[in-house]
Chain A
């Protein structure tokens, strides 16, 4: 009888162990992080994804595209070839480019989800199979930033510039929001395109924006939704001989330099996408779908701006790469 009890106990323990092992079997996820490792618009996303992976027995393969749309597509193909459990894609290349590829991946049983830039058609098609979205509503976020800039002291008739990557539709939705919010408030708004060189090395924006400010002496506002350009705005204003508040600036993300600039009054508002969640949630989405068949969740991570009034409270989290 004692032997039977021991055997039953051993079988029970094995079953429990096997069940736990099966539930915790390593999940492989390829994830597109966006820009370059460590840059202001990518770092917190990476940290969030790593935290979720560490907590859920996930092998995370990070892919960095420098925000190049063709690279994003190529990386998706490479990921698909490796037949992982899940892939997270950036939506920037658009639905036309991604739809046939996502069809192929889904046909192979790979869970696909998206981040940072929505793909509503694909999301609707594959939501039941775990295709979700974790990111800001970029247009709404930009609009919010524009409204915060207006609140900071702009009025109808003032001249404003929105400086961003206008030549990539997928990367200028947020800036279009800034543009529209400023235009709706009656400002005269101009657009200037960020070149590929400036996109890679944003200190090169300093003379360009200095020239623009000098050429437009009545300029009252500069908006951008480029994280690293935002960080360089104080240098631009200093080079143009301006003081904090002379030109109202709105930007995006929370790099240490941007936070300092907000504290010192150079930047009036910066759109906070909560990038950490944009990394954390897609990993969780794939884990939940894989283990518990949870359908795709649409998570809006960006609903606020950081301003001189609220920057002090979140500064410690920014230093840790969490916000």
Chain B
């Protein structure tokens, strides 16, 4: 039995998945009219995917022992590039491709600053955040742009359309991306290199890993993913506004850490990030649905987040078997 529990404990993301499941059970008990229907889940599948895509990219970066604070600005930049191209050419694909390229370029510059010029990533990407938001605001002339006519175009239908008129397709794209990236991180040379670099860059270099090139590719990948997130957001809400993405920094970082990715680098948990993002993205709506009103909402949210992290640390590090043996010892002691 304890062997099975031990195996379960080693399953990536399981503790966070348990927290998410418990959370939804609690919401079903305390807000049955909301959480036994499908609409609330559809709204999560509508709004969580852009943040999930961002969290996937950030998981890679943090695993490598770096940080990227520029991704909210890339969300805005890619949204603008797409919107401008759509307004100019009347079709979505050129803008879609250019936006991804723009995001990757921003990431490449970040990577160059970090890897070649040895600028600490927190400083380089913080500066990049201000710079690219500034560029976006200037380019957009500070204006919001309504692109309601994008609805029904192939690019809109493919990425944020509704499967069977109900299910937001962006949820499938983001989930597929998590699976793909999990294999890249855990089964591909690039992912292994990132983990080695995050663990100890000098040792990685001795082992023959091209540390600088890998770091540059890593930031470029994160930029491209942030651009994709910006596209999902812009397509979903059918409007570009120059400050979009600004409120996503903290929820995305919280999801990565709740998911079990080590803040010290060397260990990334994309499955945990997936469940962590859905915890963060569902929390406030769930608390509101239970009828807890007024100023209690944030307090309850904080408690649930803290509980998630603690549970993840307790179960994730020591394993479920260790937890069960602790519980057994405690029970024996009580007798």
Q: Which residues of A contact B (CB under 8 A)?
A: 35-40, 43, 46-47, 166-167, 190-193, 195, 197-204, 206-208, 210-212, 214-215, 217, 228, 231-232, 235, 239-241, 255-257, 259-260, 321
Contact = CB atoms under 8 A, between A and B. Distances in A.
Contact of A191 (B144, B236, B286, B294): B294
A175 to B, nearest CB: 14
B200 interface: no
B302 to A, nearest CB: 11
Given A214-B33, A214-B34, A231-B239, A207 B146 contact: no
Nearest to B50: A203
B144 to A, nearest CB: 5
Contacts of B31: 211, 215
Contacts of B233: 203
Interface string B140-168: 11111110100000000000000000000
B179 interface: no
A210 B237 contact: no
Consensus secondary structure, chain B interface: helix
B39 A239 contact: yes
Contact of A212 (B37, B245, B288): B288
A92 B276 CA distance: 36
Given A43-B144, A256-B146, A211 B288 contact: yes
A203 B293 CA distance: 20
Main secondary structure of the interface of A (DSSP, over half): helix
A211 B242 contact: no
A43 B247 contact: no
A43 B233 CA distance: 21
Contacts of B43: 206-207, 210-211, 239-240
A217 B31 CA distance: 13
Contacts of A40: 144, 241
Given A38-B242, A214-B289, A321 B33 contact: no
A217 B34 CA distance: 10
Given A167-B295, A191-B293, A211-B285, A256 B145 contact: yes
B250 interface: yes
Contacts of B42: 239
Nearest to B72: A201
Given A38-B144, A256-B146, A260-B146, A206 B47 contact: yes
Contacts of A241: 39
Contact of B285 (A200, A207, A231): A207
Central interface residue in A206, A208, A211, by most chain B CB within 10 Å: A211
A161 B295 CA distance: 16
Q: Which of B140, B145, B236, B244 has the most chain A CB within a 10 Å cutoff?
A: B244
Contacts of B145: 256
